[in-house]
């Protein structure tokens, strides 16, 4: 059964309502906090689930033809940000630090000398 997000125009609080598709638009919705029927639907973000394979294929398509990228820290940072977002997972803070340094123009060698513990055997 789908969940619909609403905001009460009376008390201004958010709440969710479970309804079938047939009930939506026909059934009166009441605020879960103050019971007012003066409510409006809240639009939420839509997420599309991708398989790991489709995420990697998408990233590969975006980055085909990037020969020599290791010599361009800013391009490497862009690629890493894109791949990080395609993975759809929370990445460690070290990842963001490395990408920030690449965007600032530091080479991978410079970053490795400053942050020697990155990429070690865990």
Phi (first) and psi of residue 14, to 5 degrees: -90, 150
Task: Convert the pLDDT of each residue in 5-51 to its tens digit.
Answer: 999 999 999 999 999 988 988 999 999 999 999 999 988 766 666 77
The answer for 32, left when phi > 0, alpha when psi is -120 to 50, beta otherwise, is alpha
Does residue 58 sit in the same domain as residue 35? Answer: no
The count of structural domains within the chain is 2
- Phi, psi for residue 26 in degrees, rounded to 5: -110, -35
pLDDT at 122 (0 to 100): 45
Using CA of residue 105, residue 109, residue 115, residue 118, what is the dihedral sign? positive
In a domain, 76, yes or no: yes
Residue 119 lies in a domain: no
Write down the residue that tokens 């020969």 correspond to.
67
Distance, in Å, from the CA atom of 69 to the CA atom of 82, rounded to the nearest integer, reads 14
* Token duo for residue 112: 């490795």
Report yes or no: 69 and 75 within 8 Å, Cβ to Cβ. Answer: yes
In a shared domain, residues 35 and 88? no
Measured between alpha carbons, how far is 53 from 87 in angstroms, rounded to an integer?
Answer: 10
Q: pLDDT by residue (tens digit) across 68-113?
A: 677 788 888 887 887 777 666 777 778 888 889 889 988 888 888 8
Find the CATH number of the domain harbouring 9.
2.20.28
- Domain of 15, in residue numbers: 3-41
CA dist 39 and 34 (Å) reads 11
pTM above 0.85, yes or no: no
Residue 58 lies in a domain: yes
């Amino acid at each position: 059964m789908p969940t619909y997000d609403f905001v009460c125009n009376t008390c201004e609080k958010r709440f969710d309502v479970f309804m079938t598709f047939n009930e939506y638009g026909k059934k009166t919705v009441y605020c879960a906090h103050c019971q007012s029927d003066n409510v409006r639907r809240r639009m939420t973000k839509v997420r599309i689930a991708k398989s790991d394979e489709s995420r990697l294929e998408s990233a590969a398509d975006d980055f085909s033809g990037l020969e020599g990228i290791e010599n361009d820290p800013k391009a490497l940072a862009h690629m890493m940000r894109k791949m990080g977002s395609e993975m759809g997972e929370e990445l460690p803070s070290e990842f963001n630090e490395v990408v920030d340094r690449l965007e600032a123009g530091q080479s991978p060698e410079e970053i490795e000398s400053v942050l020697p513990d990155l990429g070690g055997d865990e």
